[in-house]
Amino acid sequence: MSSAFFTAEQLGLLASSTVRCDFLITFEFLSATERAWNGNQALLANDGNSYLPMFGFGSVEGLGLAGQGTVSESVTISLDGLPGQALDWLSQALANTADVNQQMVTVALQLFSEDWQPIGLPIPVFRGFMQPPRVSRSTMSTEAGATQSISVTAENIFFGRSRPPFGRNTDRDQQARYPGDKFFGFVNSLLFKTITYPDF
């Protein structure tokens, strides 16, 4: 680990036998930016932002060491039924899917001291594009009621890279910019074609 990225205090915490940490999540919804963590009270982090509590009902799945290729990898952020609905942003997101779809989400790792005070700035570990939220409900049992969960899957920066964006000299790009223009309409026919120049 590089000391240029971590502070000396963070390096000391990471090297200790017990490491206290949690994920800080920033949802950049279209209408507003919301932040959350899995603690029991609001957290004022050293980045100057306040993170609302999920009381241990939140989870982040799919984080891991990125592969060597350029494949789109995803994480899923879920929130089970929250007591009193103190944090209601995911259900709001479900009602306003357009507010979520293709917006950015950042997952950061925050280190804490023994008394759970944040040490250093949050360390970003994932940033990606949110997909439409989903709701699931567990089966009702005699011992406990059903639990409703809301989840948002986020694709990393390689999401959609297989689709050529504007600016790649394709007919699709040209039609989006100038409908009816046929300048790039024959690009595909030029593939593997031999052109002799000059041709007398």
pLDDT (0 to 100) of residue 72: 62
pLDDT (0 to 100) of residue 193: 79
Q: Is 15 helix (H, G, I), strand (E, B) or coil?
A: helix
Q: Give per-residue burial for 52-75: e unless 16+ CB within 10 Å, then b.
A: bbbbebbebeeeeeeeeeeeebeb
In total, the chain counts a number of residues equal to 200
Q: Please, are residues 120 and 14 in contact by the beta-carbon 8 Å criterion? A: no
pLDDT (0 to 100) of residue 86: 45
Of the chain, the end-to-end C-alpha distance in Å amounts to 63
- The pair of structure tokens assigned to 193 is 């074609």
pLDDT (0 to 100) of residue 60: 92
**By mean pLDDT, which of 92-96, 116-120, 176-180 is the weakest?**
92-96
- Distance from CA of residue 51 to its chain's centroid? 16
Summarize pLDDT for 13-70 with one digit per residue, the tens: 888 889 999 999 999 988 889 999 999 999 999 999 999 998 888 899 988 765 555 5
What's the rounded mean pLDDT across residues 69-88? 66
pLDDT (0 to 100) of residue 46: 92
pLDDT (0 to 100) of residue 108: 95
Other CB atoms closer than 10 Å to residue 42's CB: what's the count? 12
Summarize pLDDT for 128-177 with one digit per residue, the tens: 999 888 877 666 666 666 666 788 889 887 666 555 555 666 777 778 77
pLDDT (0 to 100) of residue 92: 64
